[in-house]
Each structure stands twice: as C-alpha cells, then as structure tokens.
Amino acid sequence: MSLREIKRARTRQAIVAAATDLFERDGYEQTTIADIAAAAEIGTRTFFGYFASKEDLLFPETDARLRAAVQAVEQRAPGDRPAEVLLRALSLVGEDSDDLSGRLAALRLRFIAEIPSVRGRALQTQMDMQQELARRLAAAYPDELDPIVAAALVGAFVGAVTGALHALLGESGPEDADRDPAVVQKAVEHATSVALRPWIAHDVRQNGDPDV
C-alpha cells in the first residue's frame, strides 16, 4: 500500500470506530453524520469521501467479504469441494477483520431488527452478495453445480452464518464480556461447517468415496 492508501485506511477505520462508539452510546437514529465526523476529527465533507450515508457505516467490509469469497473460489485446489471453498472464505474473512464478530456486528444485527431502512439495506446487500458468489461458484464447478444448485448452496451458507451470528450476538446471546471476536468467529465457523456437512457429504458421495 502507498502512504496515501495507508492514510485513507486509517481515516476510514477512525470513522468506523467513532461511529461504533456513538451508536453504542446514543443509538443509531440519534447519532448524526456531523456527530461522527466530529468524533473522528474530520469534516463532514471528508466523511462523504469515505461513506455515502450513515447506513453504509454499518456495512464497511461488504466488498472485502465478497473479495475474500471470490479469492477462495479462484484459488481453490483441484480437490476442493464447493462447500469447503465457502468455509475457507469464511475463515479468510475472520483472519482479515472482526466485521462479522466484533462490536459493530452486534450493533448491525440490532439495528437490522429495529430500523426498517437498515433492514432494507441489509437484505439488498445480502442478496447482491449471494447472487455474485453463486455465479462465481457455478462458473468454477460447471460439471457439478448449475445456477440453481449453486444459489441453494450459497443460500445455505449465508443462512448458516447469519443464524449463528444472531444466536451469538443477538439479545438472547451471551453477555458482552463473553463476545470476544476470535471466539465468536470460531463458533460461527464451527456452526456453519456443521450446517454444511450434508453438502460436503454429498460432494464426497458424488466423487465415489466408498467410506461415505
């Protein structure tokens, strides 16, 4: 990364961190963009150079998550099965950031449940990611996955991740003190691997493993 890219990344992270603190303290609707900009020690004009809206702040790593998934598909080994590739993508996301397991993730889930505009944005974001990932997966495994089956597999994967996160970070989940991002990430990976086990078993049977 160039010095300019490093500075931009730091400023972007400062905006997200400031917003997270304010969202936790004051709530989403009570926090303004001006509040966030002031807390991050930037102007509102600079804010819009990084995020188009306050809602965007709740989904700062969406593009990075998709890139990690696409990378896992493109860098698959010859023997990798589709479900295994998706699980590897989930692990890559956890290595790169705590976007799925940290404080902002918990806030995002709460606001999705409470605020219609955030819920709509989340649904659109999820649908776009699922469609793109299913398309990539079908193209990578043309002899095994047609577009419908690829969409079903990606839907099962995304549903498993989302369900696990709701159980871990939602209101009925463990207390904040127990929500260590690394622990949450590992729990999500484990739960998702269990949920996708039938898909992995199906892949093995398709390839003629006599032990399955």
Helix (H) or strand (E) holding 7: helix 3-26
Tokens of 64: 């990075």
* DSSP three-state, residue 75: coil
> Is 36:57 a contact under the CB 8 Å cutoff?
yes
For Cα atoms 92, 110, 83, give the angle at the middle one, nearest 5 degrees. 30
**Per-residue confidence (pLDDT) for residue 206, from 0 to 100:** 52
Tokens of 94: 């956890």
- How much is the pTM? 0.83
Question: Cα-flanking dihedrals φ and ψ of residue 164, to 5°?
Answer: -65, -40
Q: Hey, how many other C-beta atoms are within 10 angstroms of the C-beta on 39?
A: 16
CATH code for the structural domain at 59-206 = 1.10.357.10
Extents of the domains making up the chain? 3-52, 59-206
- Give the Å distances, CA to CA, from 50 to 28, 43, 78: 19, 11, 39
pLDDT in tens, 145-192: 999 999 999 999 999 999 999 998 876 444 554 578 888 899 999 999
> Of the candidates 118, 127, 143, which has an alpha carbon nearest to the alpha carbon of residue 54?
118
> Is 114:170 a contact under the CB 8 Å cutoff?
no
Helix (H) or strand (E) holding 94: helix 82-96
Per-residue pLDDT of the chain (212 residues; tens, 9 = 90+): 788 888 999 999 999 999 999 999 999 999 999 999 999 999 999 999 999 999 999 998 888 888 888 999 999 998 899 999 999 999 988 877 778 888 899 999 999 999 999 999 999 999 999 999 999 999 999 999 999 999 999 999 999 999 999 998 876 444 554 578 888 899 999 999 999 998 886 654 455 443 43
CA distance 144 to 199: 12
State the fold for domain 3-52.
Arc Repressor Mutant, subunit A (1.10.10)
SS3 content of the chain, % helix, strand, coil (to 5): 75, 0, 25
